[in-house]
Amino acid sequence: MIKVLNIAGARPNFMKVAPIYAEMKRRAGEFSPMIVHTGQHYDAAMSDSFFDDLGMPKPDVHLGVGSGSHAVQTAKIMTEFEPVVLSEKPDWVLVVGDVNSTIACALVCAKLGVKVAHVEAGLRSRDRAMPEEINRILTDSISDLLFTTSQDADENLKQEGIPAERVRFVGNVMIDSLLDHLKLAESSRIRADLNLAAGEYAVMTLHRPSNVDDKLVFSGILDALLSVAARLPIIFPAHPRTKAKIEEFGFADAIANSNIRLIDPLGYLDFMRLYSGAKLVLTDSGGLQEETTVLGIPCLTLRHNTERPVTIEMGTNILVGTDPEKIMSAAYDALDSTKLAAATLVPPLWDGKAAGRICDELIQS
């Protein structure tokens, strides 16, 4: 039996760990899985509710690291996680995504000689100003098994000199969670509570420091949103950092007097129910680029690069940067077009079965 520590640090991690952990529990004769929550996202409204929605049990270990600078947070995760590894003696530690918890736990294991599997390996934005890019590159370089979501990720790893025998193309485990929970999300009352009809509103998420910490950049994005909101309501579940910047920069009145509806962050099922009925999604996150591709919903990514180019090549994602004119033009085109969803292709192995393939590979390795 293989003992696996599954590391969850931030909300995007939870959606990736949930189907893998569930698959391991189904295969109880092969796996002894544990969940380690680093506490990188420590607010109950933005963390614990996701565990509940995803049907995940209370973590076996909670490190409770909380917030801090990248250096402080990464170091604290390492010092708290090392005793867990020494005590539990796992066969594998499975890390997902690209947050500080990912690299911190992988580095501890590499130093201790414990095998590391990285889910969502090989994604590259080519932008080293993004902390996530550094985390991805370093985690991939020290992992023993690298599970990729798309074939361009395989090529990235090949170009970086990662031996092919360490790489496994297994598909996208985020889509496992999406397909597992779409039906369950129909029980959410979020659309009714907000008085929304499917296809008659847009959804917005914005949290990256490059977008919300710079007043000039944020102001330009907001100008574009105000224009788009004249066409249809934009529902904006705002991250606490983003809300604080809205107040600090004096944007609150403009938003309050517009068709942009600022709401608190939502749980996994409520948010899925919200964006799955949207006419348009605008975001700077990674996961929504993937989920909207599978659902055939036009997605405008408010960044100058993406580590998920397959969502542009095959899906509904359009990279628009932060230029207000480009955002508005792409939004109007998406709202007026009836062709985008019909032309969408779902990338290979984004079929809801990635967790099973991951478990198969762990057993065979």
Is a pLDDT exceeding 70 seen at residue 344? Answer: no
Catalytic-role residue among 37, 62, 70, 207: 207
pLDDT in tens, 206-247: 999 999 999 999 999 999 999 999 999 999 999 888 999 999
Is a pLDDT exceeding 60 seen at residue 45? Answer: no
**Structure confidence at residue 241 (pLDDT):** 86
**Structure confidence at residue 340 (pLDDT):** 53
Is a pLDDT exceeding 80 seen at residue 79? Answer: yes
| Residue 343 pLDDT level (bands cut at 50, 70, 90) | low
The verdict on whether 207 is a catalytic residue reads yes
pLDDT in tens, 282-306: 999 999 999 999 999 999 999 999 9
Q: Give this prediction's pTM.
A: 0.94
- Report the pLDDT averaged over residues 68-91: 96
Is a pLDDT exceeding 80 seen at residue 48? Answer: no
**Structure confidence at residue 297 (pLDDT):** 95
Q: HEC profile for the chain? A: CEEEEEEECCHHHHHHHHHHHHHHHHCCCCEEEEEEECCCCCCHHHCHHHHHHCCCCCCCEECCCCCCCHHHHHHHHHHHHHHHHHHHCCCEEEEECCCHHHHHHHHHHHHHCCEEEEEEECCCCCCCCCHHHHHHHHHHHHCCEEEECCHHHHHHHHHCCCCHHHEEECCCHHHHHHHHHHHHHCCCCHHHHCCCCCCCCEEECCCCHHHHCCHHHHHHHHHHHHHHCCCCCEEEECCHHHHHHHHHCCCHHHHHCCCEEEECCCCHHHHHHHHHCCCEEEECCCHHHHHHHHHCCCEEECCCCCCCCHHHHCCCEEECCCCHHHHHHHHHHHHHCCCCHHHCCCCCCCCCCHHHHHHHHHHHC
Which domains, ranges and CATH numbers included, belong to the chain? 2-172+349-364 (3.40.50.2000), 183-343 (3.40.50.2000)
Is a pLDDT exceeding 90 seen at residue 20? Answer: yes
